[in-house]
Structure 1
Amino acid sequence: MEIALLAVGRLKSGPEADLCGRYLDRARAAGRAFGFRGFAVTELAESRATRPDDRKAQEADALAAAVAAEDFLVCLDEAGEALGSEAFAALLRRQSDAGCKRVRFVIGGADGLGPAVLKRADLTLSFGRMTWPHQIVRILLAEQLYRAVTIIAGHPYHRA
C-alpha cells in the first residue's frame, strides 16, 4: 500500500524539513516488510486569493485534482477524530489488509481545509484541539507514520 502526504505550502529547508524527512525515511525503510511504500510528500502551492474562503476553495480544487476516487483520504483537521497511536496503526493495517492501494494524508494551508475536501475525506483526523502550524503537523504526521509501522512490526520504539 502506498502512503503519501499532500500538503498545502512548502516546508523550507532547515531543521523542520530534516526532522520530517528523517521520520519518513525511517517509515519507508521499516514499512517495506509490510508492503507499505511511498511516504512521499507532494507540496501544493498556497492560494493567493485575498479572502480565506476563496483560498480554501482554490486549495481544495488543487487537492481534489491530486486525489484519485479510490484513494483512502485522511484529512488533518482540528475538528477531526483523535486516535491513539495503536488505533492509528490498526487503521493503516486494516486498510492494507482490505487491499487499499493508496492512503493520502492531507494537510491544509494557513486557513485550513475547504469543505469540499473535508466532505470527500474517509477520515478526518485531529492531533488535538490546539491549532498547530502546518510545518509542525507535517512532522507530527511523519513521526506517527513511523510509529505506526513500528507498532505493526512489534518494534520497541513504541513503549506504551
Structure 2
Amino acid sequence: MRVHLCAVGRLRDGPERALVEDYRSRFDRTGRLLGLGPLSEHEVEDRKGGGMTAEAALLERAVPAGALVCVLDERGKVMTSPEFADQLARWRDGGRQDVAFVIGGADGLASAFRDRADAALSFGRMVWPHMLVRVMLTEQLYRAASILAGAPYHRA
C-alpha cells in the first residue's frame, strides 16, 4: 500500500526537513517488506490567498484517485501507536492501494474537505504547528512499520 503525505506549505531545509527525511527513509526500508510504502510527499501552496477553501481544492488534486483519505485534525481519533499500526495493517489487508494523510495549513482544513475524509487522526487535543505534525506523522509511520515487523524500536 502506497502512503502519501499531502500537506499545505513547503517544508524547507532545516531540522524539521531532516527529521522527516530520516523517518521517511526508515519507513520505506522497514515498510517495503510489509507491503507498506513508499511514502511520498505532495506539497501544495495557495499563492493567491484563497484561504482554506483554495487549499482544500489544491489538496484534493494532490490526493491520488481512489486513495483512502485520513486527515490530521485535533477533532480526529486519538490512537496509541499499536492501534495506529493495526489500522494501517487493516487498510493494507483490506486491499487499499493508496492511503493519503492530509495536513492542512495554519488555519487547518476546510470543514467540507474534513467531512468527506474516510478517517481523521489526532495527535491529541492540543493544536500543533503543521510542520511539526509532518515530523510526528512520519515518525509514527516508521514506528507503526516497526511494530508490524516486530522490531524493537517501539518499547511500550
After the TM superposition, which of the residue ranges 60-69 and 138-147 deviates more from structure 2? 60-69
Indicate yes or no: 2:25 matched with 1:25: yes
Offset of residue 144 of structure 1: 0.1
- For 1:74, the equivalent position in structure 2 comes to 70
What does the per-residue CA deviation read over 1:97-134, in whole Å, with 9 as the maximum and x for residues that have no partner?
A: 11100000000000100012111211111101111111
User: Share of identical aligned residues, percent?
Assistant: 47
> Which portions of structure 1, spanning 4 or more consecutive aligned residues, are displaced by more than 4 angstroms?
none
Cα separation, 2, equivalents of 1:47 and 1:118: 21
Indicate yes or no: 2:41 matched with 1:35: no
Q: Over the residues paired in the alignment, what is the CA RMSD in angstroms? A: 1.1
TM-score for the superposition, normalised by structure 2: 0.96
After the TM superposition, which of the residue ranges 102-111 and 36-45 deviates more from structure 2? 36-45
Aligned length: 156
Contact 2:30–2:145 (Cα < 8 Å) also in 1: yes
Cα separation, 2, equivalents of 1:67 and 1:42: 8
User: What is the SS of the residue equivalent to 1:34?
Assistant: coil
Unaligned segments of structure 1, at least 5 residues: none
TM-score for the superposition, normalised by structure 1: 0.94
Cα separation, 2, equivalents of 1:33 and 1:146: 13
Contact 1:2–1:101 (Cα < 8 Å) also in 2: yes
Structure 1 pair 68–41 and aligned structure 2 pair: CA distance change class (3 A): closer
